[in-house]
Chain A
């Protein structure tokens, strides 16, 4: 049974780099790993997506090892406004969506 596991919560401070890792066994071999950000009372918002190795955009980086059994979202130099819940999303080998339970990230001044 496919499962996606992320830490329930994390704390950090402004200006630090934050890494959130998601473990996902039995994912589809040819589909993307996607991360979303959600603020209270809003819908999730797409952050980044990757298939393997490293992907970087203007807000984050995503590291995916060769075995694709995990992925790490990296947020450089976080600010208070990065306080949110972060979800990883994959497809399992039956191409069913598997959402992580979310990581509540709290950034302190």
Chain B
């Protein structure tokens, strides 16, 4: 089954404690992306990757890092989380180009930073 898998689904952490949210897709997609979703602000892109070793900033990259060492994986790293990074995070992938082709989203990771 074609899918994008994120882990964990829920995470509560403390300010400053580094964390990683993993994302994996099994569709051999080139394009992957991370979003955060906040009430009233909709979906905002954090980082995206056009292919292995190619990453770029989205609209709200501050406080986040990503890496794309393999085509299937695109982890999101918060080196020093802060409460304003409490949000619902989605990973997505698509076959090519920008996300404006059919994109597949993960189930989401609800992060709370206290």
Contacts and interface: CB of A to CB of B under 8 A. Distances in A.
Contact of A49 (B43, B90, B101): B101
B92 A43 contact: yes
Contacts of B98: 31, 91, 95, 97
What bracket does the count of chain B residues touching chain A fall in?
10 to 19
A46 B102 CA distance: 6
B107 interface: yes
Contacts, number: 49
A29 to B, nearest CB: 13
Contact of B42 (A41, A49, A90, A99): A99
Interface in B9-45: 42-45
B104 A46 contact: yes
Contacts of B99: 89, 97
Interface of B: 4, 42-45, 90, 92, 98-108
